Each structure stands twice: as C-alpha cells, then as structure tokens.
Structure 1
C-alpha cells in the first residue's frame, strides 16, 4: 500500500472520523463519501494488533476512492503504518513531513497548533452539540469563527457537523469532519 505526501491541492475538504460507535457502518460510510475524502482513523477501543488490521483494511478502501487516511497517533507510528498523516493534540510531536491534523478546543490549543510547520489542518471543535460528549460545552458559531480567523492553518469544523451545518459556517472553513454526521 503506497503512501502519498498530501500537498495543499489534495487535502480533503470532507473527513470521516472513526470510533467504536461507527465501526460497523464504516465500509458503507466510506462507499458513500465523495471521491478524495479523508478518513481519520482513531479506533482507540481496539487492541494494538486488531487496530492495525482494521487500519490496513480501511486504508485500502479509502485509497481506492482517491482519499487519504490519517492515523490518530504520533508521526513515527503514522509513517510505520504508511498513513498519509497523523492526528492529535497540538504539541504531540512532529509529523515528519506528513500531513498533521491538530485538535483545537480553545485559544491555548490554537496557539500551540499555530506553531506547527508543514502541511497542517486545525480541527476546531466542538462547534455544535455532539453525541461524543453529550451535554458538553460547545463553541457555537461566533467563538468557532474567532478561532478559525486566528488559525494559521486550514480549518476543519468538527462537533455536531452535518452537511447543512457545514453550509451554515461555510464561509469560514476549509472543510468539515464528522463521526455520526457521515455514518448514519
């Protein structure tokens, strides 16, 4: 399985995020994604060998659709697994030339994320209420917009996102990501 080095022109605008909740529906969800979409592979719930096997299977599927796969984890592991990038909190190490997706929930994380060099995306969340964190605080559109404007990287909206909500915040984002919003 080959790994591509995503440049600015091939960075997906739409990202499906994996977890235990949507695992049984992932193959169908990937088949419904537009060509060139991205997959953020988390699957923290699996033991290491099973996690790796699941990653390899989903990587083949998303790549047959012209997409990229990003591993939740550090850059060295992403390289070993032949991922196109890595995903995690700002300051979790370097991506070593891979695409780097950083999670941003507040101004402090945005500042740390803005120090990343190389191709990076800031996944700013949660914009709206989400099933991942029921009853949790949300940014709302105004605070999300402030963080998005201050980001030095492309911005991906996350948290309760659907196609309709992506259109609502569309002028200030470079794309959006979802777990349930793309799996149901």
Structure 2
C-alpha cells in the first residue's frame, strides 16, 4: 500500500467519534492508533475493533509502539520516537520529530516517513512552541523521505497551505 496522504491519529478525546471518522476518511487513509489512556487489555480490544474497521474501509493501520508490538497486533506499521522503532524491515515505520535533530535521528533509525510537528498550535499541547508553516516547509524540504505535517492541521489548513501529507487528531474526528 502506498504511503497515505491523510492520517487520523487516535486519542482519548476523540474515541467516541472514531468509528464514524474512519467511515468518513477517504479510502486508503492512514490511522495511527495510540489510545495510551487504556489499560493493556482494553487497548488490545479497542485496537482489534479499529483494525477490523480499518480493513473494511481500506485504511492502513499503524500502531504507536514498537515494530514487535505492531507485528503482534497485525498492524501495517509502527509509530513513535526514532529510538523506539527498531531496525527490522517489513513494516512501515513512522517517526515523530519536532526539530532538525530529531529528523536526523529518524533518518538514522531508518524511518520510512517523519511526522513533523507541531505546524500550528494544538489542543494536545497548549502553549507549546510551534514550527509554523514556513519553517515546517523548510525543514520538510531537507528530508530525503516523506514528511507528514501534524499539529493543528485540518482539511482547510492543509488545502490552504498546499500540504500533500498531513495528520490530525481533532481535525479529522
């Protein structure tokens, strides 16, 4: 499956809306399942439910965690800080980055794509410094692998800024 252009990132704030959001996403979108708030058994059960929906709607499911966890869960990839991804081939590996140094770490770790954030202010990290769209674009242009915009991005902002790959929590739920 090619790298999706649109990514829905899950969390506890949007859980009640998640099933409907997955149905509305364009076929071939990506889902990054986080749900860190759930105890392990409940997280596994919720992941299995989302995995079934992802398959039904033709989406790629990526698990926040290690490649080993992603393989066990039947996910198509792993998402996290570069050091947490591991170095095994076969699954899509999405690394998080917030700076040029973290982007370099993602490249050294062999990531397939980088989620660079935050582009804009977010509810997830109120008051945190943002890259802004110009700095984000300058950093993304340096990367030899795809860079996905995250942080305060929604369909309107993605279109207005010409972002071809983007991820959202609130912006898609």
TM-score (norm. length: structure 1): 0.89
Given that 1:15 and 1:37 are in contact with CA atoms closer than 8 Å, whether structure 2 keeps it comes out as yes
Name 1:166's counterpart in structure 2. Answer: 158
Q: 2:165 aligns with which of 163, 169, 175?
A: 175
C-alpha RMSD of matched pairs (Å): 1.3
Question: Which whole-Å CA distance do the structure 1 matches of 2:67 and 2:54 have between them?
Answer: 20
Q: Secondary structure at the match of 1:181?
A: coil
- 5+ residue gaps, structure 2: none
TM-score (norm. length: structure 2): 0.95
Name 1:45's counterpart in structure 2. Answer: 37
Question: Which whole-Å CA distance do the structure 2 matches of 1:94 and 1:88 have between them?
Answer: 13
Give the superposition deviation at 1:155. Answer: 1.1
Q: Secondary structure at the match of 1:46?
A: coil
Question: Which whole-Å CA distance do the structure 1 matches of 2:55 and 2:151 have between them?
Answer: 25
Give the superposition deviation at 1:114. Answer: 1.6
Count of residue pairs brought into register by the alignment: 172
- 5+ residue gaps, structure 1: 1-5
Moved over 4 A (4+): none
Give the superposition deviation at 1:141. Answer: 1.1
Question: Which whole-Å CA distance do the structure 2 matches of 1:159 and 1:117 have between them?
Answer: 23
Match status 1:134 vs 2:96: no
